[in-house]
Amino acid sequence: MKKHNYSAGPCILPQEVFEKSAQAILNFNDSGLSILEISHRSKDFVAVMEEARALVLELLGLQGKGYQALFLQGGASMEFLRVPYNLLRDGGKASYLDTGTWAAGAIKEAKAFGETIVVASSKEDKYNHIPKHYAIPADADYFHCTSNNTIYGTQIKEFPETKIPVVCDMSSDIFSRQLDFSKFDLIYAGAQKNMGPAGVTLVVVKEAILGKTGRNIPNILNYQQHIEKESMYNTPAVFAVYTSLLTLQWLKRQGGIPAIEKINEAKAQLLYAEIDRNPLFNGTAVTEDRSNMNATFLLKDETQAQAFDQYWKEAGISGLTGHRSVGGYRASMYNALPLESVQVLVDVMKEFEKTNA
Ligand code: PMP
C-alpha cells in the first residue's frame, strides 16, 4: 500500500509522474527506446528540455521578462558557489540573510570569494524565526536569502525591498505559493522537493545581471555559458529533467501555482491547528514565520517518542522524523502530498492524545 510520505526531500511526487516516468524508461514516446539510452541531442530530448525551460518561466509568470531557466547539476549546494562566482565582483561585497543551515552553507561559500556581510541571523534562537528590520547595504553586489528553511520549518512571508539584485534559494518551496517572482534576479532550487527527482537543479536568472564581475569564470560554472548552450553545455541529467517536466505539466493541469497554493494552505492550517490544540505537542517555529512546506514540532514529553513513533508508522506514515541535527518531528507537505495524508497524521495525533495524555 502507498505510504503517506512526509519525507523532506527527495520526497513524494504525483503518482502519475511516477507512472509516466517509469513508462519512459521502458519505451520513451513510443520510440522503441528507453529515455535512458537516447542521446540528449536527439530531437525527442531537445523537445523535453525546451518545454521544461519554457514551462518553468510560464508557471512563475516570468515569460518575456529577460529571464532564462537552466537545468544544471551539483545540487543547490553547487549554486552556493556558482552565485558568488558569477555575481560577486572582484573587490566587491555580498550580503546574506542567515536563516538556517542551508543559508549558512551559502554564506560559507561566498566568503571564499570576497567580503560577505551577514545582514541578520536567527542562529542564536536556533533559527526558530526569520529576522526582520535589517538593513541591506546599497553598495553590495547582491542580497541572498533562503525562502524556506527546510530543517527549521520557517518561511519568509515578506521579502525585503532593495535595489540591488536579489538571489533566493527556493529549494524547498518553489512552485508552492504565489510570489511576484520578477522581484528576484536569480532563483535556484534543487529539484528534489516540488519539482522532480534529485540530480538536477533549477536556476532562473535575469540575464541582465550577468557578466559584471571582471572574473574569469570556468565554463561549467558560468551561467552565461549554460544560457548560450541552452542548458546543454554538458550532458544534462536527462531522466531528472524529463521527470521534472512531467511534474511541471501535472502542476499546470492542477491550475498552476494559485491552485496548489490553496491546497498547501489548507494542509498547513489543518496540521498547525492540531499541533497548537494537542496538549502533547509543541511547534518549534515562531507562529508568524511557520513554513507551509515543513512543519516542525516536538513531543512535550520525549519519553513518549517510542510510543508515538509506533502510532504513526502503523498508520502508514513515513518520513516524519526531524532532521538529524534538530530531532523531533518534521512533516514535509510538498505539492504532491494530498490533504488526506495530513488528515491521517492529525487523526493519529488525536488518537495518541486519547491514550497518552
Ligand atoms: N537549500 C535548501 C533550502 C535545502 O533544503 C537543501 C537540501 N535539502 C539544500 C539547499 C541543499 O541542496 P542539495 O542537496 O541539492 O545540494
Q: Please report whether residue 2 resides in a domain.
A: no
If asked whether residues 112 and 237 sit together in one domain, one would say yes
Ligand 1: distance of its center to the CA of 260 in Å? 22
Ligand 1: distance of its center to the CA of 171 in Å? 6
Cβ contacts of 159 within 8 Å, gap of 6 or more: 145, 147, 166, 168, 179, 183
Q: Is 65 exposed, middle or buried (0-12, 13-18, 19+ CB in 10 A)?
A: exposed
What's the confidence (pLDDT) of residue 146?
Answer: 99
Q: Is 126 a catalytic residue?
A: no
Q: Is 250 a catalytic residue?
A: no
Q: What is the mean pLDDT of the chain?
A: 97
Q: Please report whether residue 6 resides in a domain.
A: no
**How far is it, in rounded angstroms, from Cα 49 to Cα 47?**
6
Ligand 1: distance of its center to the CA of 4 in Å? 22
What's the confidence (pLDDT) of residue 357?
Answer: 86
Ligand 1: distance of its center to the CA of 214 in Å? 29
**How far is it, in rounded angstroms, from Cα 193 to Cα 201?**
11
Cβ contacts of 277 within 8 Å, gap of 6 or more: none
Ramachandran region, residue 114 (left: φ > 0; alpha: ψ -120 to 50; beta: rest): left
If asked whether residues 264 and 212 sit together in one domain, one would say no
Domain end (from 230, 254, 278): 254
Do 321 and 329 meet the contact criterion of CB atoms below 8 Å apart?
yes
Express each pLDDT in 3-28 by its tens digit. Answer: 999 999 999 999 999 999 999 999 99
**How far is it, in rounded angstroms, from Cα 53 to Cα 229?**
13
Q: Please report whether residue 4 resides in a domain.
A: no
Q: Please report whether residue 95 resides in a domain.
A: yes
Alpha helices in 101-146 (DSSP H): 101-111
150 is in an annotated binding site: yes
Give, for ligand 1, the residue of 101, 108, 172 to mutate: max count of ligand atoms closer than 8 Å to Cβ: 172
Domain end (from 226, 254, 282): 254
If asked whether residues 171 and 292 sit together in one domain, one would say no
42 is in an annotated binding site: no
Q: Please report whether residue 5 resides in a domain.
A: no
Could you write out the DSSP letters of every residue in 26-67? HSGGGSSS-GGGS-TTSHHHHHHHHHHHHHHHHHHT-TTTTE
Place of cell 529571464: 67
Report the CATH number that the domain containing residue 45 is assigned in CATH.
3.40.640.10
Express each pLDDT in 172-193 by its tens digit. Answer: 999 999 999 999 999 999 999 9
Give percent above pLDDT 90 in the chain: 99
Report the CATH number that the domain containing residue 349 is assigned in CATH.
3.90.1150.10
SS3 call for 104: helix
| Catalytic site residue from 169, 173, 185, 289 | 169
What long-range pairs does 113-117 form, CB within 8 A, spacing at least 24? 113/84, 113/85, 113/88, 114/84, 114/88, 114/89, 114/90, 116/84, 117/93
235 is in an annotated binding site: yes
State which residues form the domain around 347: 256-356
Ligand 1 interacting residues, C-beta cut-off 6 A: 9, 75-77, 102, 146, 150, 169, 171-172, 190
Q: Please report whether residue 1 resides in a domain.
A: no
pTM: 0.98
Q: Is 39 exposed, middle or buried (0-12, 13-18, 19+ CB in 10 A)?
A: exposed
Q: Is 102 a catalytic residue?
A: yes
Could you write out the DSSP letters of every residue in 292-328? SSEEEEEESSGGGHHHHHHHHHHTTEE--BPPTTT-S
Q: What angle do CA 230, 235, 236 make, to 5 degrees?
A: 65
If asked whether residues 152 and 95 sit together in one domain, one would say yes
Q: Please report whether residue 9 resides in a domain.
A: no
Q: Please report whether residue 8 resides in a domain.
A: no
**How far is it, in rounded angstroms, from Cα 111 to Cα 94?**
9
254 is in an annotated binding site: no
Q: Is 161 exposed, middle or buried (0-12, 13-18, 19+ CB in 10 A)?
A: exposed
| Catalytic site residue from 185, 193, 250, 267 | 193
77 CA closest ligand 1 atom index: 16
Express each pLDDT in 218-234 by its tens digit. Answer: 999 999 999 999 999 99
If asked whether residues 278 and 348 sit together in one domain, one would say yes
SS3 call for 151: coil
If asked whether residues 170 and 284 sit together in one domain, one would say no
312 is in an annotated binding site: no
If asked whether residues 281 and 200 sit together in one domain, one would say no
Q: Is the peptide bond before 338 cis (omega within 30 degrees of 0)?
A: no
Would you say residue 1 has pLDDT above 90?
no
Would you say residue 320 has pLDDT above 90?
yes
If asked whether residues 134 and 24 sit together in one domain, one would say yes
Cell of 171: 529549494
If asked whether residues 245 and 266 sit together in one domain, one would say no
- Other C-beta atoms lying within 10 Å of the C-beta of residue 214: 9
If asked whether residues 68 and 139 sit together in one domain, one would say yes
Q: What angle do CA 306, 312, 314 make, to 5 degrees?
A: 100
Domain end (from 236, 254, 272): 254
If asked whether residues 102 and 167 sit together in one domain, one would say yes
Express each pLDDT in 88-123 by its tens digit. Answer: 999 999 999 999 999 999 999 999 999 999 999 999
Ligand 1: distance of its center to the CA of 323 in Å? 13
If asked whether residues 113 and 231 sit together in one domain, one would say yes
Could you give the number of structural domains in the chain? Answer: 2
- Other C-beta atoms lying within 10 Å of the C-beta of residue 111: 14
Express each pLDDT in 331-350 by its tens digit. Answer: 999 999 999 999 999 999 99
The residue whose CA has the least distance to atom 15 of ligand 1 is: 75
